[in-house]
């Protein structure tokens, strides 16, 4: 079957990752059905219909994660589904209702609808959050690792991603008729196809807007959204793809990010932090101040300050043929994109 004859459903089609997957699928000739909450709202979702190839090969369908059977229409006749829809936010009023239920029940709902529709394979967007919620600087993480520490009180977003992925694997074990593959990216950055500011790129807006008291001892794994999209599509296309795929190849410390932003001239017009807090005393101060932050942000700071994540991404490089974009290039592209969309003033 050619790409032009193959129909792929992308849930969360208007999101940061989902919209990039839609664009790449269209570019490769696939017919795409994207799910959004209000397909008729062209003011919000019209940008999807302006993508190259969208007029001929993209249709939008209603998708509500917690509404059973809601994805039946979109998935009917699809060979594949790429499930990107899931809430991504650290601070919420009710972690169970706002994070865990949509992530877990939404995944189960999409998988059941896919099974009923005869879909061959579902590629699920998970996260490194399902692998660890507190990286150990001395330990190299692999696809065999699972986050065993998160809860509704401790890193609830991480808990939601872990529980959702576990639900996907339970479904896979119970239903031989459908194949599940999971992509586990770290912090996803890069140029956005949607005008809304996504949570991960907001990191740079906060850094440039004076939201940080100093340069904290934080180190992130960062991966470009274009590489994340490739990982999903190649996992979909490959008959050999199986299991989980860590999708990140670079770490970078806040100190290096600030240095790069200064080199690119952003220190002249923006409020980059200058006080170096990347030391034992700074880590102590951050942990103390974290208790005065919203609960999600506070638990994240306490479990990540002073830690350097290490991981083995060889499986994604070898089996999905990924050549990851240099993180510094991705950051520069992200900054230019933030300016283009008007998210950076100055």
Q: What is the mean pLDDT of the chain?
A: 94
pLDDT digits (tens, 9 = 90+) for 35-91: 999 998 888 899 999 999 999 999 999 999 999 999 999 999 999 999 998 877 767
Catalytic residue flag (residue 315): no
Predicted local distance difference test score (pLDDT) of residue 132: 96
195 vs 331, residue with greater confidence: 331
The CATH number covering residue 94 comes to: 3.40.50.720
Residue 93 falls within a domain, yes or no?
Answer: yes
Task: Find the range with the poorest average confidence among 68-72, 135-139, 248-252.
Answer: 135-139
Among 23, 75, 85, 12, residue whose Cα is nearest residue 51: 23
Report how many domains make up the chain: 1
What is the distance between the alpha carbons of residues 222 and 129, in angstroms, rounded to a whole number? Answer: 13
Q: Has residue 163 been placed in a domain?
A: yes
pLDDT band of residue 345 (cuts 50, 70, 90) is confident
pLDDT given for residue 91 in this prediction: 73
Report whether pLDDT(4) > 90.
Answer: no
Residue 346's pLDDT is what?
Answer: 61
What is the model's pTM?
A: 0.95
Domain assignment present for 8:
yes
Tens of pLDDT, residue by residue over 299-321, are 889 999 999 999 999 999 999 99
Q: Of 234, 240, 227, 228, which is closest to residue 80 (Cα–Cα)?
A: 234
DSSP labels for 289-339? Answer: HHTTS-HHHHHHHHHHTT---EE--HHHHHHS---PPPHHHHHHHHHHHHH
Residue 333 in domain: no
Q: What is the pLDDT of residue 296?
A: 82
C-alpha span between 318 and 113 (Å, rounded): 32
Catalytic residue among 44, 121, 149, 161: 161
Q: What are the beta bridge partners of residue 252?
A: 220
Quote the CA–CA distance of 154 and 251 in Å, as a whole number: 23
Q: Is residue 297 part of a domain?
A: no
Residue 206 included in any domain: no
Percent of the chain with pLDDT over 70: 99
Band the pLDDT of 1: cuts 50, 70, 90.
Answer: low
pLDDT band at 120 (very low <50, low <70, confident <90, very high): very high
Is 68 part of a structural domain of the chain?
yes
Distance from chain centroid for Cα 56 = 28
Task: Give the pLDDT score at 63.
Answer: 93
Report pLDDT for 136: 87
Closest by CA position to 119, among listed 167, 181, 165: 181
Q: Is residue 181 part of a domain?
A: yes
pLDDT in the model for residue 295:
83
- What's the pLDDT tens digit per position in 206-245? 999 999 989 999 999 999 999 999 999 999 999 999 999 9
Range of the domain at 130: 3-195+222-249+309-324
């Amino acid at each position: 079957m050619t790409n032009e004859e193959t129909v792929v459903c992308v849930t969360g089609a208007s999101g940061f990752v989902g919209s990039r997957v839609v664009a790449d699928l269209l570019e490769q000739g696939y017919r795409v059905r994207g799910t959004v909450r209000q397909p008729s709202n062209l003011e919000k979702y019209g940008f999807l219909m302006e993508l190259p190839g969208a007029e001929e090969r993209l249709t939008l369908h209603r998708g509500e994660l917690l509404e059973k059977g809601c994805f039946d229409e979109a998935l009917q006749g699809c060979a594949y589904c790429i499930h990107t829809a899931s809430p991504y936010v650290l601070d919420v009023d009710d972690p169970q209702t706002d994070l865990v239920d949509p992530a877990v029940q939404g995944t189960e709902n999409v998988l059941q609808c896919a099974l009923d529709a005869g879909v061959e394979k579902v590629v699920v967007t998970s996260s490194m959050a399902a692998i660890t919620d507190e990286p150990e600087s001395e330990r190299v993480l692999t696809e065999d690792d699972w986050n065993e520490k998160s809860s509704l009180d401790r890193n609830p977003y991480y808990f939601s991603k872990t529980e959702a992925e576990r639900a996907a694997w339970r479904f896979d074990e119970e239903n031989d008729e459908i194949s599940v593959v999971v992509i586990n990216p770290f912090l996803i950055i890069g140029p956005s196809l949607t005008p809304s500011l996504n949570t991960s790129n907001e990191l740079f807006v906060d850094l440039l807007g004076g939201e940080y008291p100093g340069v904290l001892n934080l180190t992130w794994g960062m991966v470009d959204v274009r590489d994340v999209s490739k990982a999903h599509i190649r996992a979909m296309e490959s008959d050999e793809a199986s299991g989980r795929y860590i999708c990140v190849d670079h770490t970078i410390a806040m100190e290096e990010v600030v240095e790069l932003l200064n080199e690119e001239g952003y220190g002249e017009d923006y409020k980059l932090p200058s006080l170096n807090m990347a030391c034992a005393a700074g880590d102590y101060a951050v942990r103390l101040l974290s208790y005065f932050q919203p609960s999600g942000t506070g638990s994240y700071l306490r479990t990540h300050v002073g830690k350097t994540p290490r991981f083995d991404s060889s499986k994604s490089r070898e089996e999905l043929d990924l050549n990851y974009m240099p993180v510094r290039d991705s950051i520069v592209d992200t900054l230019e994109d933030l300016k283009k969309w008007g998210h950076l003033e100055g």
